[in-house]
Amino acid sequence: MKMILNERQHAEEALEYGKMDKKPTKTLVCIAKLCLEEGKSKSDTYNVLHEFMAKSYPNYNTVHWESFFYRVIHQATRYIKTRKERGKKSLIEIEHVSITHKELNQIRELRSKRLEKLAFVLLVYSKINNQIHENNLYWINHAWSEIYSDTGMAVSKKDQGLLVYKLIHSGLLKESRRFDSTSVQVLFAHPEDAVAIRLTRFDDFILEYLRWTGETVKDCSVCGKRVLAKSNRLKYCKNCKKKLGK
Ligand SMILES: [Zn+2]
């Protein structure tokens, strides 16, 4: 998942250990939000961004980044202001997403691995959106490429649309009526039921659905990454296996 689900944690780890998203701008936005939320002035926030980049970004060039920092600070200020006006938290801090038995059973009833995987990912995204927007509407408006990338399936553009249509047709999804919108709403959320899966990590989270359906999923004993295991002896993920020369 490309989204940063815990902006506070992301910003704190960036400042402490120099960790950075693949897209540095995402990290800068989180840091700016954290500083401003803590009550720092815009110029102090600028200095924090500057020091962070000087320390953590190879070939950092002040001139190149200056106007960019101002833009990030301006955007973060506006964002925090709007969120506060609406009585919402200024930073996104998602710790977990819970999926219930009833939701999983309904997904399973689709009896098509491809549709099941897509439905599971959509449910997770909709619950994340609810937490971000602090509502219970289960709307999703992410890029389909991003959603499909989390299903772990290679699906052609044409089939992507077809699978979504099938979920709409089975009554699991609703399309937005706005003509310019690609939003869909998840209609199979049953948060009142008992929790079956509690997601706390969002890398390869589709594997938690496969684990629930009875497939063997193991955690790499070096890095902890989840791996779909064909044999019970599997110990490492592909990357770690390569590094260890096994
Ligand atoms: Zn590993």
Q: What digits encode the pLDDT tens for the residues 135-171?
A: 999 999 999 999 999 999 999 999 999 999 999 999 9
Whether residue 102 sits in one domain with residue 74 = no
- Please give the distance, rounded to the nearest whole angstrom, from the Cα atom of residue 245 to the centre of ligand 1: 13
- Please give the distance, rounded to the nearest whole angstrom, from the Cα atom of residue 109 to the centre of ligand 1: 33
- Please give the distance, rounded to the nearest whole angstrom, from the Cα atom of residue 58 to the centre of ligand 1: 26
In a domain, 206, yes or no: no
pLDDT digits (tens, 9 = 90+) for 191-217: 999 999 999 999 999 999 999 999 999
Among 167, 186, 205, where does a domain finish? 186
Whether residue 103 sits in one domain with residue 72 = no
In a domain, 210, yes or no: no
- Please give the distance, rounded to the nearest whole angstrom, from the Cα atom of residue 244 to the centre of ligand 1: 10
Q: What confidence score (pLDDT) does residue 1 get?
A: 87
Whether residue 45 sits in one domain with residue 125 = no
In a domain, 22, yes or no: yes
* Structural domains of the chain, count: 3
- Please give the distance, rounded to the nearest whole angstrom, from the Cα atom of residue 227 to the centre of ligand 1: 9
Query: How many CB atoms within 10 Å of residue 243?
Result: 12
Whether residue 182 sits in one domain with residue 102 = yes
Mean pLDDT value across residues 225-241 = 89
Q: How far apart are CA 144 and CA 184, in angstroms?
A: 11
Q: What confidence score (pLDDT) does residue 14 get?
A: 97
- Please give the distance, rounded to the nearest whole angstrom, from the Cα atom of residue 237 to the centre of ligand 1: 4
**What confidence tier does 226 reach under pLDDT thresholds 50, 70, 90?**
very high
In a domain, 116, yes or no: yes
Q: What confidence score (pLDDT) does residue 231 get?
A: 81
In a domain, 232, yes or no: yes
Whether residue 104 sits in one domain with residue 80 = no
Q: How far apart are CA 144 and CA 154, in angstroms?
A: 12
In a domain, 196, yes or no: no
In terms of residue numbers, what domain contains 72?
7-85
In a domain, 64, yes or no: yes
In a domain, 90, yes or no: no
Q: Is the pLDDT of residue 180 over 80?
A: no
Contact between 219 and 232 (Cβ < 8 Å): no
- Please give the distance, rounded to the nearest whole angstrom, from the Cα atom of residue 117 to the centre of ligand 1: 23
Whether residue 76 sits in one domain with residue 116 = no
Q: Which of 74, 89, 93, 95 is nearest to 37 (CA)?
A: 89
Q: What confidence score (pLDDT) does residue 50 get?
A: 97
User: What is the four-CA torsion angle of 45, 49, 51, 53, rounded to 10 degrees?
Assistant: 180
Question: Measuring CA to CA, how many Å separate 88 from each of 34, 38, 76, 200, 216?
Answer: 15, 15, 14, 22, 40
Mean pLDDT value across residues 53-68 = 92
Q: For the whole model, what pTM was predicted?
A: 0.90
